[in-house]
Each structure stands twice: as C-alpha cells, then as structure tokens.
Amino acid sequence: MGLMHFSVPSGVSQEMLERAYLVGLDGAPWPSRTTRTPNGLAIERGVADSGMFHCTWPVEGHGEPALSTGILMERQRPYLLPLELCRGTLLRIRNQWSNWEMAGMVVPKPIVDKHRLVTEQFTAAATHQSRPSEATAAANRSLKLALDLIDELAAEYARQAIASRRKQTPKMVTLLAGVIECRTLSDALGKQFANAFNTASIPVSWRACEPEAQSFDWSAVDQQLQWAKSHGLKIAMGPLLQLDRRHVPDWLYVWSDDSEILEGYVADYCSAAVDRYRGKVQLWQVAARMNSPDALGLTEEQRLRLVVRAVAAVHESEPKAPLIVSFDRPWAEYCAHDRLDLSPHHFADTLVRADLGLAGLGLEINLGYWPGGTLPRDLLEISRQIDRWTQFGLPLLIVLTVPSGSGPDPQSQPGATPLHGGSPGGLTPIGQRQIAERLLPVLLAKTAVQGIVWNQLDDGMPHEFPHGGLIDAAGRTKPTWELLAQLRQNYLS
C-alpha cells in the first residue's frame, strides 16, 4: 500500500479532492483515494512506486488548470504542493522547449527572458520552504508566469511550424469538420458552415437507425448526407459504434450477456450502414469511447472484441475505406476511480498491435468538462499528449469541445459540468474563442493531426456537453465560428 502526503497552506477544496490522482511512469493513473489531512491532503493507492501527482490548481489569469508535479517518491515528510506543481510545470517547459529546439524552432529573446523570471520566482519558493506561506506565494507567482510563458512558447511553435508546413503546401489538406446533427441548417447558416469547414461529420446513432432488430431507418442520415453533398463538403461518418445510453437500442440490452449474439448484431449493423453509403464517405469513424465504461456493463475484453468485429465488418463491406477508432478522455483521469485495467493509450495499443488496417486514431478532448470530459489543460500538456499518441505511427483526428458558458443549459444531458478553463474571457462565448484561438494553431502545426472535428454545433438542439456548440440557444453563431472560418480561409484547402 502506498501513501503520499502534501502540505497545502491555502486549504483543500472538495473539487480538488475529487479531481486529484497519481500516475505512474507509463502515464496511466493508479486507482487511488484522496483525503484531507490537518495540513493538506493524502493520496493512497495500492502500490508504493514513485509517481506524478495531478490536481487542479488556481492560477491567476488561467482559471484552475490541471497541473502535475514531477516524479515524486514516497517519504514521511509532506511535499509542499504549490512548490511541487511549480517544479513539475518548469520541467515540462524545459523538456518541451528542448524538443522543439531540436526540431528546428528558434526561441525569441523575450521568451528566454520570461523563462528567467519564472525560474527566479521558483528559486525563491524553493529556498523558503521553512516559511510555507512565503514559499506558496512565490510558487503561485512562478506558476502564473509559467503559464503565461507556455501560451507564448506554444504560439511561437505553432507560428513557426505552420510557416514551415506552408512552404511545402500553401494550403494544408487537414480536415476541419463540424458535426451536423439532427436538423438541416438554414441556407444562411449552410453557407457559413461551408465557409468555416471543409468537411461535415455526420453522426450515426445505432438507437435511431435500428430501433428494432434488423429494422433500419436511415432517413435522418440520408438527409444530412444530401445536405452536405449539396454544399460541396467532404463526408466523415460515425461513430457507428458508441455504447452509451444515447446510442444503444433498447432491444440490445436483452443480449448484453451473450457475447456471440452481441457481436453478430454489431457486425450486421455496421455492414448495413457501410453498404448503404458505400463510395459516398471519405472517412468512417467506426467506434468511439470504447475505452470508457458502457451502458451494457461489458468488460474491457468484450469491448475490444466488439471493436475488432466492427472494423472487420466495415472492411468486408468496403475494403479500401479509410477508417478510424477514437478514444475519449485521453489523460484517463477516470481510471483513478473506475478501476479499469486499460487506459485509453493501452486500449489503442492493443488494437494497433492487432493490425486491423486502421487508417488513423481519434482523440476526443472535451476540454474543461467534469466528469465525463477532460480537465482544463495548458497548451504544452495538450501538445505532449498528442505527441505521445503520434508514436503509434498513425494519423490523428482530434475531436474537440470547449464550453462557452456555465449557466443552465436545458438541452444538455445531465452529468458533465463546465469548469473554468483558463481563458481570461472566462466561461463566455469570447472565452471559448480565446481558448480555441490558442489551441487550434497548435493542432494545425502538427503533421500527425490530419483532422479536427468540432464536436457540437447547436446549443438549441439536444446535446451532451453544456454550452459547447458554435450556435447558441437563440440561433446566433458564436465568435468561435468566425475564428474557424478565418483558419479555414487562411490555411486549409
């Protein structure tokens, strides 16, 4: 049994306890339990290995992003948490800085000077540990400067990397897609959509398309496909297989204990979808979120087998079709509580090693939602995570949502709550744009990222994540829509 203690002079909130976890050297969270202590918190897990502690932490001008310490070993004396979060953030900056310089990036002098200031504040914190309040104040000042520096460093990386890519191809071929849901857009919005996106992502709900076994209704998908074709858009379709309550047909629950019959129904449904739309779809998203606990209560092995069966069915119906499988919550925060054996990365590794003929992998990052989404992360951490997935050697599709508000959202599902995501504009439409304005260029800069999908379009229609759309409940487009149109016109074919 392992136990790690942290001193937190500013106090511990319930939210911090709920979102805290430890990860091992492989990046996978350990199942753990975090509790308050008289002077801070303690985190208990089943192993005594060294690891990195992750938690949300308030930083001036950046909300409460999820930060991490460096690698810590167990010891009797508590670690001063703000100091260790600062140390971990500086280590991430230095490691990424070094990697980008080796790749050819030239770091401007103002960024070098700011890095020196960050280090000076961290040194002040480290040398005043006997006076925790002074050390905490210096660590918080260093963290604020460090996150400012991360924004500047990431922006400079994106600027230089995109410029380098455009020397080869002035207009990049990256797919920029918006999810079109269950209603057709007006003519005016349709034109705006075609200006902002080069691809339409058409969702396929098993529950809606096969309300009774072997009885299919493709009318909604047909309508959206026809609309997208009429606007000259490429087509990404799916996910076909997503086993949450919104997508699982009621009649399927009867067969949840019979793996053979369940796999047969999955194969029949996927084959029927691909047979109907053969030759009309540029990219099939076969399965999504299969790394997460599902509505049928299946084991991880059963979910893996279903993905394999679904991919095989699509390949049999359209052998040359590019297809991907996507994974949500790539940081795997949920593994600290759900006690699963496979993190998203491990789940993907198993599928890639099976040599299924995947054309790419998808990462679903619903940024700034909890639970069910991804904790707010800084640009360096998002870049690092994408680089980690790039090691599979397959193109990546990034599926993205960012909140634009925090109030009631009657059309959203209960569950995920928007968190303050680190934008000076806060949880507002302007704040959503500010996050997207910093993040999207970093994604476009990466050659492995060959597609970006905005995961929700319209807050006026039923949706999953509160205030995550590009159209508000009154039918008005948000500022992020204009940003996407600018990126499309400036950079993409």
**Model pLDDT, residue 181:** 79
- In residues, how long is the chain? 493
Q: Which range, of 120-129, 171-180, 448-457, averages the lowest pLDDT?
A: 120-129
- How far separated are the first and last CA of the chain, in Å rounded? 55
Report the C-alpha gap between 306 and 101 in whole angstroms.
43
Domain that holds residue 126: 2-164
Token pair for 212:
């009774």
SS percent in the chain: helix, strand, coil, step 5: 40, 20, 40
pLDDT in tens, 433-480: 999 999 999 999 999 999 999 999 999 999 999 999 999 999 899 999
Report the C-alpha gap between 399 and 471 in whole angstroms.
17
For all residues of the chain together, what is the average pLDDT?
Answer: 93
**Residue where a domain stops, chosen among 116, 136, 164:** 164
**Residue where a domain stops, chosen among 164, 187, 216:** 164
**Orientation of helix 132-168 relative to helix 81-102, angle to 10°:** 20
pLDDT band at 47 (very low <50, low <70, confident <90, very high): confident
pTM metric for this prediction = 0.94
User: Does residue 141 share a domain with residue 43?
Assistant: yes
Backbone angles phi, psi at 262, to 5 degrees: -60, -45
Which residues are CB-contacts of 204 (< 8 A; sequence separation ≥ 6)?
A: 221, 237, 238, 239, 240, 273
The amino acid sitting at 205 is S
**Residue where a domain stops, chosen among 136, 164, 192:** 164
User: Does residue 319 share a domain with residue 206?
Assistant: yes
pLDDT in tens, 385-432: 999 999 999 999 999 999 999 888 999 988 889 997 667 778 999 999
- Helix, strand, or coil here: 208? helix
Answer whether residue 1 shows pLDDT above 70.
no
Backbone angles phi, psi at 153, to 5 degrees: -65, -45
pLDDT band at 27 (very low <50, low <70, confident <90, very high): confident
| Percent with pLDDT over 90 in the chain | 81
**Model pLDDT, residue 28:** 86
CA distances to 111, 392, 452 from 348, rounded to whole Å, are 36, 9, 19
Which residues are CB-contacts of 339 (< 8 A; sequence separation ≥ 6)?
A: 31
Supply the DSSP symbol for 11. -
Token pair for 164:
């380098």
The amino acid sitting at 222 is D
User: Does residue 223 share a domain with residue 341?
Assistant: yes
User: Does residue 238 share a domain with residue 114?
Assistant: no
User: Does residue 149 share a domain with residue 239?
Assistant: no
User: At which residue do the structure tokens 């302007």 appear?
Assistant: 430
b/e 275-296 (16+ beta carbons within 10 angstroms → b): eebeeebebbbbbbbbbbebeb
Q: Are strands 369-370 and 417-418 parallel, antiparallel or unpaired?
A: antiparallel
What is the rounded average pLDDT of the residues 275-283? Answer: 96
Answer whether residue 341 shows pLDDT above 90.
no
Count of other CB atoms within 10 angstroms of residue 215: 9
**Model pLDDT, residue 422:** 65
Answer whether residue 308 shows pLDDT above 90.
yes
User: At which residue do the structure tokens 């167990």 appear?
Assistant: 74
**Model pLDDT, residue 129:** 84
**Model pLDDT, residue 421:** 67
**Model pLDDT, residue 285:** 98
CB 286 within 8 A of CB 323: yes
Q: How many domains does the chain have?
A: 2
User: Does residue 159 share a domain with residue 214?
Assistant: no
Token pair for 10:
């500013």
Report the C-alpha gap between 186 and 249 in whole angstroms.
30
Report the C-alpha gap between 273 and 148 in whole angstroms.
47
User: Does residue 217 share a domain with residue 346?
Assistant: yes
Report the C-alpha gap between 174 and 448 in whole angstroms.
10
DSSP states along 142-162? HHHHHHHHHHHHHHHHHHHHH
**Model pLDDT, residue 386:** 97
Helix (H) or strand (E) holding 42: strand 40-45
User: At which residue do the structure tokens 């940024």 appear?
Assistant: 367
Report the C-alpha gap between 327 and 349 in whole angstroms.
12
User: At which residue do the structure tokens 């606990």 appear?
Assistant: 293
User: Does residue 196 share a domain with residue 145?
Assistant: no
User: Does residue 186 share a domain with residue 149?
Assistant: no
User: Does residue 160 share a domain with residue 190?
Assistant: no
User: Does residue 369 share a domain with residue 300?
Assistant: yes
CA distances to 93, 103, 107, 160, 250 from 112, rounded to whole Å, are 12, 17, 7, 16, 58
User: At which residue do the structure tokens 């096969």 appear?
Assistant: 210
What is the rounded average pLDDT of the residues 285-314? Answer: 95
Q: What is the CATH number of the domain that holds 302?
A: 3.20.20.80
Q: Which range, of 180-184, 319-323, 341-345, averages the lowest pLDDT?
A: 180-184
**Model pLDDT, residue 183:** 66
**Model pLDDT, residue 182:** 65
Answer whether residue 115 shows pLDDT above 90.
yes
**Model pLDDT, residue 429:** 95
What is the rounded average pLDDT of the residues 12-22? Answer: 90
Token pair for 357:
């003929």
**Model pLDDT, residue 45:** 85
Token pair for 143:
């963290």
What is the rounded average pLDDT of the residues 276-292? Answer: 96
User: Does residue 137 share a domain with residue 108?
Assistant: yes
b/e 430-449 (16+ beta carbons within 10 angstroms → b): ebbbbbbbbbbbbbbbbebb
